[in-house]
Amino acid sequence: MRRNGRDAFTFSPLPSLTGSSSADGGGGRPASLRRRLSLSVAFVALLVGALSAMSPARAQNQAQDLTNEPLVFDVVQISGFVDRIVADFIETSIDNAEASGSGGLILQVNSTRAVISDERVVELAEKISEAEVPIYAWVGPSGADARGTVAQLIATTDEIGVAVGAEFGDTGELVIPESLLMPAFVEVAESLRENTVDEETVITFGLADRDSPTLAFFALELPGFASEIDTSGDEAVRVPVSPVRFSKLSLFDGWMHTFASPAMTYLLFLIGAALLIFEFYTAGVGIAGVLGAGCFVIGCYGLDVLPTRPWALALLIIAMLGYAVDVQTGVAQLWSVIATACLVVGSLFLFDGFAISWITLLAGIIGISVSMISGMPAMIRTRFGTPTIGREWMIGTMGEAAEDIKREGVVTIDGAPWKARVNRTTPIAKGDPVRVVAIEGLYLEIEPEEGGARDYREMRGNRGDDTDAD
């Protein structure tokens, strides 16, 4: 009977599952089978749902745990201003950490300002908050700062650490929604708006739960970071086991990030403009022109990235044009004074929200003014050719002293100023008529109109004429 019943179930499954009962009274078996089948289907559905809910990164983490392999942690170093390049790099690093199944991404921060729009800051904060891997932030090493919207970005991570001697705060008005920030940060946001705090106050405010003097100390306490006790020395030491991968900007992106710093942007813009002016007044295109164009383009890129005051930038342009006018004449006059004033004011107020260091300002103002007033005219005259080509016609020409001349000074010939040198010790007063007797390098050799010595070349020519006459 049991065998016949088993044969009937084997070959006629549908009647047994759908009928009311079998003829031999075995109706309990189909009911029990239905219950087992229902439980199996429910278990399979639950298992599939759990697996589908698991992210690829967490699945890989579990696979690593099963094989007893330590998780790998990534470290991204952020220094200087957070610009477009750095923002994109942070997002790319998060994507790479998720794809590789990283145990966490640590942002090593030393930045005082973000020079991206508030909308871009919020996008980056959302990327950090919604990451499938834990995101941590460590402000270090000692002496590092995290200020402004950079400090707000740090508050969107899962855990914060601050090195000894580092500072955190001066956040300004919140631009990131409170829903993305740490609850502890929201509670003390008003205290951090215009103030910075040290590592001890960060712990007091509840933003961190432990001291993190170094990056290694900070990483050792992170969830999932494997470590072991090394007893080989005199004292037992806790050493990391989890591998750490350090990421940095690519070579090109690193250069552009450096060039977009305030000091580099300011100096490259001025140097590029000065070299272009020099090339404009010389024949042909040389190395100076190519180098100047490159510096000018990179400087303009930096001005586009950084917050710049348009009126201050206009003053710098006026300054370079004013210098260009006097470079053409070869003598510093009114335009040089105007240009220097515009250069000083434009340099002091070029960037909005922060100032350039005094060393950079002095290098830019003194270097440009001296080169444009003194060095540039001499270089341009030299590059035109030999010192005498094109100026022989001036020998014997009468002019006027533009100032008192004892040894060297400026004379005016046909309304144009020229640097001159007296060929004798006789001083010449301002306004006295002078005669050009020779050209020596970049200087005109002059003598007073009355009582001046005759040009030796003219005298030698006269002697030759007298000899021919004899």
58 domain residue, yes or no: no
What is the pLDDT, as a whole number, of residue 59? 44
What is the pLDDT, as a whole number, of residue 56? 46
Placement of tokens 């002019």 in the chain: 399
Are 105 and 244 contained in the same domain?
Answer: yes
Are 109 and 44 contained in the same domain?
Answer: no
Are 225 and 304 contained in the same domain?
Answer: no
- Sequence-distant (6+) residues with CB within 8 A of 199 are 162, 163, 164, 165, 166, 208, 211, 212, 213
Residue 42 belongs to domain spanning: 2-53
Residue 403 contacts residue 422 (beta carbons within 8 Å): no
Q: Determine the distance from the C-alpha atom of residue 145 to the mean position of all C-alpha atoms in its chain, rounded to a whole number.
A: 16
Are 373 and 245 contained in the same domain?
Answer: no
Are 195 and 91 contained in the same domain?
Answer: yes
Residue 241 contacts residue 257 (beta carbons within 8 Å): no
Farthest CA pair distance, the chain: 164
Are 337 and 361 contained in the same domain?
Answer: yes
Domain end, chosen from 337, 366, 383, is at 383
Are 160 and 286 contained in the same domain?
Answer: no
CATH number of the domain residue 104 falls in: 3.90.226.10
What is the pLDDT, as a whole number, of residue 444? 86
246 domain residue, yes or no: yes
Are 99 and 243 contained in the same domain?
Answer: yes
pTM of the model: 0.67
Q: What are phi and psi of 60, to 5 degrees?
A: -70, -35
Domain end, chosen from 231, 251, 271, is at 251
**Residue-wise pLDDT tens for the chain (470 aa)?**
333 333 333 333 333 333 434 334 444 445 555 555 555 555 545 554 554 544 444 444 444 444 568 899 999 999 999 999 999 999 999 999 999 999 999 999 999 999 999 999 999 999 999 999 999 999 999 999 999 999 999 999 999 999 999 999 999 999 999 999 999 999 999 999 999 999 999 999 999 989 899 999 999 999 999 999 988 878 888 888 999 999 989 999 999 999 999 999 999 999 999 999 888 877 556 788 899 999 999 999 999 999 999 999 999 999 999 998 888 777 778 899 999 999 999 999 999 988 899 999 999 999 999 988 887 777 766 655 444 455 677 888 899 998 888 888 889 888 778 888 887 767 888 988 999 888 877 788 888 887 655 544 454 455 445 545 55
305 domain residue, yes or no: yes
Residue 243 contacts residue 72 (beta carbons within 8 Å): yes
Structural domains of the chain, count: 4
Are 158 and 288 contained in the same domain?
Answer: no
Are 141 and 167 contained in the same domain?
Answer: yes
227 domain residue, yes or no: yes
What is the pLDDT, as a whole number, of residue 288? 81
Q: What are phi and psi of 103, to 5 degrees?
A: -75, -15
Are 336 and 376 contained in the same domain?
Answer: yes
Question: CB 60: neighbour CB atoms within 10 A?
Answer: 17
CATH number of the domain residue 451 falls in: 2.40.50.140
Are 84 and 203 contained in the same domain?
Answer: yes
Tell me which H or E stretch contains 381: helix 376-383
